[in-house]
Amino acid sequence: MTARTDLAAHLASLALPQALSQTLTAAAAACVEIRKIVSGGALVGALGASGVVNVQDEEQKKLDVISNDVLTDMLLACPAVAGVASEEMDTVQPATNPTGEYLVLFDPLDGSSNIDINAPVGTIVSVLKAPSATPTEADFLQSGRHQVAALYAVYGGQTMLVLTTGQGVAGFTLSHDGQWLMTHERITVPADTKEFAINMSNQRHWAESVQRYIDGCLQGADGPRGKNFNMRWVAAMVADVHRILMRGGVFLYPWDKREPNKPGKLRLMYEGNPMAFLIEQAGGKATTDGKQAILDVTPTELHQRIPVALGSANEVDQIAAA
């Protein structure tokens, strides 16, 4: 068997600042621990609701809380981390590390609705440079273009870690002995696709432009697009985006009129920015509406929401033209 590059060797080959390598290593190690808990499920008492409503006004699952604690503890213990922010926490948590250089934002367990049915879930991480070793909430409000790294782990049939530091996208698979081994050296998203991912049950609530785009896809070869499409929907952004990175496609989570004052459901800082960084680095496009790049959005609050349309570049352009 050919020897594979492990995560540590890959990070070394990128000639990253030591502190950034330490930060990414700590995040990857936390994902290994979360995987152990996810795989235990009911056997370790990790299923079901926690009985707590988070800052997003959503009922937390037990695994949301456990995963958040694992990431928070392991990252704050890393001397390179100046502070963390999480989808599951009200505000930021500064570290006590006087040498901390990086801020880490994360969705500790994306796809909570999948937890109790043993469907794919994952962890999403974004890394920013810290303006100071004693960061405030305002220091986290940097646009996605300022990210120095992003990664996600998807806990499925295999556990994979997908990473960018602005030098392309690489994928690693977790071995039986707990090592992240490179299995996908340079991931690219095909420019064209015949696959889309969206929650069709919300169709009646979408803006007209989104309805026109999806209607064109559904008409298949007989419609204006002149080709047949397949629809996929895993109900976990991390799993749907992973599929796009592996074989192309588009993912949409648009604004809808049920909550007209909310621009979208997904969170800019914990989901939109890191996934957009990964998609762009793989040659795709990541936008709010087919037009505005997610990475160019100026954040105004920690838990800001946005609409999302990302994936194969030419198909994202079709969304913009609808």
- Binding site per annotation, positions for substrate: 110-113, 199, 265
E-strand ranges in 158-257 read 159-164, 169-174, 180-184, 195-197, 230-231, 250-253
Strands 59-61 and 93-94: unpaired
Tokens of 176: 């039986």
* Binding site as annotated, residues: 87, 107, 109-113, 199, 265, 271
Binding-site positions for Mg(2+) read: 87, 107, 109-110, 271
**What are the structure tokens assigned to 285, written together?**
């496009």
Chain-centroid distance of CA 168 in Å reads: 16
Residue 15 CB-density burial (10 A; 0-12 exposed, 13-18 middle, 19+ buried) = exposed
Burial class (CB in 10 A: 0-12, 13-18, 19+), 194: middle
Rg (alpha carbons) of the chain, rounded to whole number? 19
Which amino acid, one-letter code, is at 250?
A: V
Q: How many residues in total does the chain contain?
A: 322
